[in-house]
Amino acid sequence: MGQLIDGVWHDKWYDTAANGGHFKRSESKFRHWITPEGDAGPEGNSGFRAERDRYHLYVSLACPWAHRTLLMRKLKGLENIVPVSVVHPLMLEHGWTFEDDFPGTTGDSLYQNEFLYQLYLHADKSYSGRVTVPVLWDKQQNTIVSNESADIMRMFNSAFDAVGARAGDYYPAELREQIDEINHWVYDCVNNGVYKSGFATSQEAYDEAVSVLFNALDRLEKILGQQRYLTGDRLTEADLRLWTTLVRFDPVYVTHFKCDKHRIGDSLNLHGFLREIYQIPGIAETVNLEHIRHHYYRSHKTINPSGVISLGPAFNWNEPHGRDRL
């Protein structure tokens, strides 16, 4: 685990000491947009027109942020339009690697790099910053379009509609305000909240993060007791963003990140919601619990120095979800 500084890799864990024991996630640096005609998006440069087999997605199957993009890729039927490479689940002194000796990894099919940071250097040889997944790569300009999962989801949702994507809009105009509002607090309290709890290095930072997290989960449990999805009766991006955290919660976050006030399996509505989305055709294929469990328990040496993977609870996400009652 480390980062690039002026194009040079430095192996260093997150600096929580500088923030009173609090984990602070840094901002993504590549923020261009693929658009139907290649004009500039909300930020970044123009020149990234939606085309078949021009772009390539790099993911970890362990990572909840990368998982969001895989969900959207699946729902929009982009598998043949945007191919994918999968890194090795362990993220150690070289960061993410393309070792391919773990089932489900692919290596770097474009450039045969050994490490993901080499791809970042290919885009910008003096890059400074974290080397994160997901990465959306442009084979034409040889650069990173975006390393921000929230933006990649939006591009997948609509940019490729004229070049063969499946119909479906998970960010419909009439719900955008509501989706943005939900995303805002779900990101801060839940998606990032589990990391803030798990990576805290002071009692006060942990207490604060974990209490915010479980208050938000209680709020979500109530909302999902009254309606099928977070904005009402339609599945949207907001649901998908919450879901990738819920999938990892009982198998990993409860134990590894000390998010143990209660389990998702004990929450009637959140658990039903988790199972319903899991059962959407194609979605289960995006879930790889081996990558998830090996990544977290074996990569985070500061919080689990032995690398021992906990047993985890038994569960069956194929059981009837009962959400059709709403």
Ligand X SMILES: N[C@@H](CCC(=O)N[C@@H](CS)C(=O)NCC(=O)O)C(=O)O
Binding residues for glutathione: 96, 130-133, 148-149
- The reply to whether 130 sits near ligand X by the rule CB under 6 A is yes
Number of chain positions touching ligand X (CB under 6 A)? 13
Residue 13-32 contact track with ligand X, rule CB under 6 A, x = bound: ---------------x----
- The reply to whether 133 sits near ligand X by the rule CB under 6 A is yes
Partners of 224 in beta bridges: none
CA distance 133 to 67: 10
CA angle 58, 61, 66 (to 5 degrees): 55
**C-alpha torsion sign, points 66, 69, 73, 75:** positive
Residue of 149, 197, 255, 299 interacting with ligand X (CB under 6 A) = 149
Known binding-site residue numbers: 96, 130-133, 148-149
- The reply to whether 148 sits near ligand X by the rule CB under 6 A is yes
- The reply to whether 250 sits near ligand X by the rule CB under 6 A is no
**Active-site position among 170, 195, 206, 278:** 195
- The reply to whether 253 sits near ligand X by the rule CB under 6 A is no
**Active-site position among 14, 55, 63, 259:** 63
CA distance 228 to 324: 8
Is 229 part of the annotated catalytic residue set? no
The answer for residues whose C-beta is within 8 angstroms of residue 167's C-beta and 6 or more apart is: 161
- The reply to whether 293 sits near ligand X by the rule CB under 6 A is no
User: Which part of the chain contacts ligand X (CB under 6 A), choosing from 37-45, 126-134, 153-161, 200-208?
Assistant: 126-134
- The reply to whether 113 sits near ligand X by the rule CB under 6 A is no
- The reply to whether 132 sits near ligand X by the rule CB under 6 A is yes
Give the CA distances from residue 316 to residues 243, 251, 271, 284, in Å, rounded to whole numbers and listed in that order. 16, 12, 11, 12
> In 2-83, which ranges are E strands?
2-5, 8-11, 55-59
- Shortest Å, Cβ 28 to ligand X: 5
The answer for residues whose C-beta is within 8 angstroms of residue 46's C-beta and 6 or more apart is: 35, 38, 39, 40
Residue of 4, 63, 259, 283 interacting with ligand X (CB under 6 A) = 63
Residue 165-204 contact track with ligand X, rule CB under 6 A, x = bound: ----------------------------------------
- The reply to whether 1 sits near ligand X by the rule CB under 6 A is yes
> In the chain, which ranges are E strands?
2-5, 8-11, 55-59, 84-86, 91-92, 95-96, 129-130, 135-138, 143-146
How many CB atoms sit inside 10 A of residue 298's CB?
A: 17
User: Which part of the chain contacts ligand X (CB under 6 A), choosing from 104-112, 146-154, 169-177, 241-249?
Assistant: 146-154
In the complex with ligand X, which residue's Cβ is closer, 75 or 131?
Answer: 131
CA distance 302 to 296: 11
Residue 262 contacts residue 270 (beta carbons within 8 Å)? no
Is 259 part of the annotated catalytic residue set? no
In the complex with ligand X, which residue's Cβ is closer, 32 or 275?
Answer: 32
In the complex with ligand X, which residue's Cβ is closer, 86 or 131?
Answer: 131
- The reply to whether 88 sits near ligand X by the rule CB under 6 A is no
In the complex with ligand X, which residue's Cβ is closer, 151 or 250?
Answer: 151
DSSP conformational letter for 311: -
Indicate the SS3 state at residue 250: helix
Give the CA distances from residue 38 to residues 32, 34, 160, 172, 318, in Å, rounded to whole numbers and listed in that order. 11, 6, 11, 21, 41
Q: Please identify every residue annotated as catalytic.
A: 63, 195
Instruction: Return residues touching ligand X (CB under 6 A).
Output: 1, 28, 63, 65, 95, 130-134, 147-149
